[in-house]
Amino acid sequence: MKKITLFLFLAFMSFALGFSQSNLTLDPCLKPFYHGVASGDPLQDRVIIWTRVTPEDISNVNISGTWKLATDNQMSNVITSGSFATDTSKDFTVKIDVTGLQAQTYYYYQFYSDGIGSPIGRTKTAPGDTTTNARFGVVSCANLEAGFFNVYKAMNQRNDVDAVLCLGDYIYEYETGGYEPNTATQRFWQPATETITLADYRARYSVYHLDPDLRRNQSIISLDSYLG
Ligand SMILES: [Fe+2]
């Protein structure tokens, strides 16, 4: 099976629990991986894994760490690993293209920085050449202010989805209240203004990734646009 599109994102899960759905603030339990982990853009032999390492001190401009990818969720059978460095130019995001993998196979991955491990993510490579069936989840129009991301949670609870396709509107770019009233949800976009600049977009993606259902599903991430 050929690579489908850059907007094909794998379903995967982490095992961090205990989030409050409406609390879009930094959860100290996740420090410094407040935005969780994610993966996507799979091929038969590779997949991209992602995280963000939020610095405690913004003057700490250079962040380094390591990552591992294993065949089990205890991270004991590690088949590949590496190191990373990130900084303000990437908004402290990390994006690794992990290669040398087997087609249509689940893998587990984790990042480490300053001795702290991130939530463990699960990912899956693209189907092999002889695959005849694949099941996709489809999402779109994720308006954080207008509602909750229950569908991400629902996807997370299934094991029969090979990949998730985001058809668009992974985020919205409106100013607060500019699309739908948020009186029922009491959820607020950041920045409150329409997203225009790079800093605006970074802030908007950041607040989305503080949503616990999105983060726990980690099913999708706009890897092309959230380069940091
Ligand atoms: Fe939409």
pTM of the model: 0.84
Which residues in the chain come in under a pLDDT of 70?
1-23, 60, 217-228
pLDDT of res. 1 = 38
pLDDT of res. 217 = 67
pLDDT of res. 131 = 87
Residue 95 Cα, ligand 1 centroid: separation in angstroms?
26
Nearest to 113 by CA among 51, 172, 173, 175: 51
Those residues whose beta carbon sits under 5 angstroms from the ion ligand 1 are: 141, 169
Residue 166 Cα, ligand 1 centroid: separation in angstroms?
11
pLDDT of res. 155 = 86
Query: Strands 37-40, 47-52: parallel, antiparallel or unpaired by DSSP?
Result: antiparallel
Strand order in the sheet with 136-139: 8-9, 163-166, 136-139
pLDDT digits (tens, 9 = 90+) for 149-173: 999 888 888 888 888 888 889 999 9
Residue 8 Cα, ligand 1 centroid: separation in angstroms?
17
- CATH topology for 3-218? Immunoglobulin-like (2.60.40)
